[in-house]
Copies of this chain bind each other. A is one copy, B any other.
Amino acid sequence: MALPDFVLRKLEEVVGADRLSTGASNLTLHAKDESFHEPHLPDVVVWPKSTEEVSRIVRICYEEEIPVTPWGAGTSLEGNPIPVKGGVVVDFQQMNEILSVREDDLQVDVQAGVVFKDLNKKLARYGLFFPPDPGASATIGGMVANNASGVRAIKYGATKDLIQKLTVVLADGTVIQPGTLAFKTSSGLDLCRLFAGSEGILGLVTEITLRLVGIPPEFLSAVASFPTTEAATLTVSQIIRSGLSPAALELMGTAAVRLINKYGEDFDFPASPLVFIEFHGTNKEGLAVDLELVKGLCDDNGATHFEAGIGRQARARLWQARYDLHDFILREHPGLEPIAIDTAVPISKLPDLVAFAENLTSELGVEGYVFGHAGSGNIHMPMMGDPHDKESWAVLEEINRRLVAYAISLGGTATGEHGVGIGKMQFMEAEHGASLDVMRRIKQLFDPKGILNPGKMF
């Protein structure tokens, strides 16, 4: 159903005609994220500039029982912001102000629409950074909604670990500001971590105070190639177990390494599983000793190639290739769409999970690009296909289902960092059991009319 005219007029009273659109191109741009999930057009897109405007928009939706879905950069991978029931999309693009850098407190206040790459560019001059890095050009609001983490979570934690304070608009338009600026608190119920990762189903996060980290003065990067995936994943697990504190431990399977050699800038890695290791520290002396330990572990597991002492430029190139991998995969399969895998397991089970994934794809004749944040036990494996070719797409979905089921059976999770969205709803019962009913009741408490990003999570 289309929105009644009087609702559009009310919304226009809040944001003005310039920041409201029912035009086809704007609706289409907000119908789909970067996943294969079926697009749904919203009825209207609004671009608020302040918490107060968001509050007024949400209150209108509450009164008229209209779905309202927050929108960051649309880079999510499970259909998280697709407005499956139409209604109002609240696009945070124009709430992109960095409000205050409080460098002596290692904190920053931002509006939800700030893009994290822009934030880190600005923070560099203070010698600070916000560590979570989802790869894509996500907004901080989107990262909070999905509890984004990425390559450095192993050392610095996920987004939710670095939230000091939030400003949240609740379903009826009420504004609350849970959290504290102190590093520690035992005061009251932890609402910040309830909203973080809740994908907009409990409220709309409009402002965030983040805890920051000093940019480490010294980096140490190394790459190691292994004869088998098992040797690579075993090494990862042993590095974690050894008491070393790597800032990144990324695995790339053979298929992914081949694409990096093909499309990346000047790489010629052996076509075998690769582990990219990074340490952050205060001084070269300490990192050199850590490097020896790591090299020893790699050698013990039969590493065929070990390259350390990578300089700033080579390191940047390598990270670029790691981030570009998603694009390389798309380029290799023009016209096809990816189905993402995003399971995480306890670290000792990582070799099992990766072996299971590789056996499954090979058995079913599908190319899967294994890579991921191996140090956190979090593995991706995009597979390319055509969602309209029902038969072949069903095979990819079957692989996804069996992999997630296996991860859950190992004590793991259906999603390490992409969130539930539409794609992972089917696994919530298996993963959460009786807890799911409690989650549903919390949703009902926060959103009795079911207007907040409906059709997601459960």
| A binding-site residues for B, Cβ under 8 Å | 102-107, 127, 146-149, 153-154, 157-158, 160-161, 170, 174-178, 180-191, 193-194, 196-198, 202, 214-217, 237, 240-245, 281-283, 285-290, 293, 344-349, 373, 376-378, 407, 410-420, 424, 427-428, 431-436, 438-439, 441-443, 445, 457-458
Task: Decide: A161 near B158, CB < 8 A? Known: A176-B438, A184-B149, A413-B182.
Answer: no
- Report the minimal beta-carbon distance from A139 to chain B, rounded to whole angstroms: 16
Chain B: CB-nearest residue to A432: B188
Known contacts A217-B243, A442-B445; decide if A186 and B416 are in contact (CB<8 Å): yes
Neighbouring B residues of A435 by C-beta, 8 Å: 176-178, 188, 191
What B residues does A427 contact at CB under 8 A? 187
Known: A160-B190, A217-B243, A442-B189. A184 touches B285 (CB 8 A): no
Given A102-B348, A181-B345, A182-B412, 7 more contacts at CB 8 Å? A178-B438, A180-B413, A187-B414, A188-B428, A188-B432, A188-B435, A286-B286
Cβ contacts A to B, 13 pairs, < 8 Å: A158-B184, A176-B435, A178-B432, A182-B344, A182-B378, A182-B412, A183-B376, A184-B373, A185-B344, A188-B420, A193-B194, A285-B288, A286-B289
Q: How far is the CB of A156 from chain B (nearest CB, A)?
A: 11
A107 to chain B: closest CB distance in Å? 7
CB <8 Å contact, B158 and A434: no
Q: Does the CB pair B178–A189 fall under 8 Å?
A: no
Interface centre among A103, A104, A237, A427 (most CB of B within 10 A): A104
CB distance from A104 to the nearest CB of B (A): 4
CB pair A183–B344 under 8 Å, yes or no, is yes
